[in-house]
């Protein structure tokens, strides 16, 4: 096993169990990367920021370790395990990323897995402005205390978009079932064949629209997903380019790119913007209206304009203020409000 310290450079710490206690065989072909992250920070709190952790290829173990299967360009599938520990760097906490599987000891592979973990957990994001705001607000006390504030995403926009499309106009519990059926199209991690990497656009195209209707049960979303997969495969859409440019785009430009994607409406585009680090627009859907009516407007259903006006004062952090004002540091925290996961 090799250890690396990543050059990037907090706070509930979930209990952890040894790898063999998580039901996955130990593998001597592994490497461990430590990435310092400014406090407050917690992998567990980030994982449960919303419902993505319930969808494959993510798994959140009983011990609080975030697991995921990841596929290299050469085809082999690796296991990532992520948790956090105290850091030698003052004011920081280390995100620990363990990579297991074939070629896991290669320095280049370790660097790539560290990059993907950084994307998923927003490890390089500067949220000091948000945390300064959170320390002044009672409704955000849990964020500071338990290391919340980051919104977990997939390592690729391709995966985030497909999961978002499948989560539209449906209860979240139903979306999880559909998403996990899609994940079954991926290649398995040899150490645990039940855990598979997210399928590529090519794999989705080969499965065909009928598979998405009959097996995934995606309904009207099936042709949207096929169109997105075919467009990415042909080069008509470049999800990686949209992703890479997102932090440099202004909100209007990014929104325009996202809403142009098949199956992505206004609310879904705002949700994806949040995953991409743009927090100046709240994603308003039926769950948002239900929460706002109950918790913010004394039982009266507000208009979308009223909801947005209430949070506009928080500027670039408004969607984080809204979301983490609802958040609780426990899995499935949203169930008392709605079956949906909304941002």
pLDDT of residue 20: 40
pLDDT of residue 3: 58
pLDDT of residue 16: 45
pLDDT of residue 287: 86
Domain boundaries, the chain: 2-146, 156-263, 279-343
pLDDT of residue 129: 97
pLDDT digits (tens, 9 = 90+) for 80-98: 999 999 999 999 999 999 9
pLDDT of residue 22: 47
Q: Within 13 A of 138's CA, how many CA atoms are on the CB side?
A: 0
Is 317:133 a contact under the CB 8 Å cutoff? yes
**Peptide bond connecting 57 to the previous residue in cis, omega within 30 degrees of 0:** yes
pLDDT of residue 9: 42
For residue 339, pLDDT beyond 60: no
Strand partners, 67: 59, 81
pLDDT of residue 23: 52
pLDDT of residue 5: 56
Between 331 and 212, name the one with better pLDDT.
Answer: 212
pLDDT digits (tens, 9 = 90+) for 144-153: 999 999 999 9
For residue 26, pLDDT beyond 60: no
pLDDT of residue 332: 86
Of all helices (H) and strands (E), which one includes residue 97? Answer: strand 92-100
Please determine, looking at this structure, whether the domain spanning 156-263 carries the CATH number 1.10.340.30.
yes
* pTM for this prediction: 0.90
pLDDT of residue 10: 36
For residue 219, pLDDT beyond 80: yes
Q: Name the DSSP class of 298.
A: T
DSSP 24-74: S---SSEEEEEEEEESS--HHHHHTTSGGGGSTTEEE-TTS-EEEEEE-TT
pLDDT digits (tens, 9 = 90+) for 293-320: 999 999 999 999 999 999 999 999 999 9
Residue 146's Cβ-count burial label (10 Å; 0-12, 13-18, 19+) is buried
pLDDT of residue 1: 56
pLDDT digits (tens, 9 = 90+) for 157-202: 999 999 999 999 999 999 999 999 999 999 999 999 999 999 999 9
How high is the mean pLDDT of the chain? 91
pLDDT of residue 334: 78
């Amino acid at each position: 096993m090799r250890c690396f310290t990543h050059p990037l450079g907090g706070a509930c710490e979930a209990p952890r169990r040894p790898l063999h206690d998580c039901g996955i065989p130990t593998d001597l072909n592994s490497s461990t990367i430590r990435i310092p992250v400014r406090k407050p920070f917690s992998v567990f709190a980030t994982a449960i920021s919303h419902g993505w952790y319930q969808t494959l290829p993510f798994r959140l173990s009983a011990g609080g370790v975030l697991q995921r299967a990841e596929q290299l360009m050469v085809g082999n599938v690796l296991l990532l395990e992520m948790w956090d520990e105290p850091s030698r760097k003052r004011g920081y906490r280390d995100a620990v990323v363990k990579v297991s599987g074939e070629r896991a000891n290669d320095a280049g592979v370790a660097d790539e897995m560290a990059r993907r973990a950084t994307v998923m957990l927003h490890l390089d994001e500067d949220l000091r402005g948000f945390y300064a705001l959170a320390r002044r607000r009672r409704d955000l006390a849990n964020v500071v205390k338990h290391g919340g504030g980051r919104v977990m995403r997939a390592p690729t926009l391709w995966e985030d978009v497909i999961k978002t499309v499948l989560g539209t106009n449906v209860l979240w519990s139903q979306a999880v079932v559909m998403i996990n059926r899609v994940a079954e199209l991926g290649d398995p991690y040899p150490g645990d064949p039940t855990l598979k990497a997210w399928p590529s656009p090519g794999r989705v195209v080969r499965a065909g629209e009928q598979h998405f209707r009959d097996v995934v049960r995606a309904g009207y979303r099936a042709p949207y997903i096929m169109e997105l997969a075919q467009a990415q495969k042909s080069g008509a859409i470049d999800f990686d380019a949209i992703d890479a440019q997102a932090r440099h785009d202004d909100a209007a430009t990014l929104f325009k790119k996202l809403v142009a994607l098949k199956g992505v409406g206004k609310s879904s585009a705002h949700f994806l913007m949040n995953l991409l680090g743009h927090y100046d627009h709240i994603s308003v859907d039926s769950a948002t209206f239900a929460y706002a009516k109950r918790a913010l407007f004394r039982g009266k259903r507000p208009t979308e304009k009223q909801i947005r006006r209430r949070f506009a004062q928080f500027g670039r952090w408004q969607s984080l203020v809204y979301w983490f004002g609802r958040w609780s540091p426990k899995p499935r925290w949203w169930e008392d409000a709605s079956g949906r996961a909304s941002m």
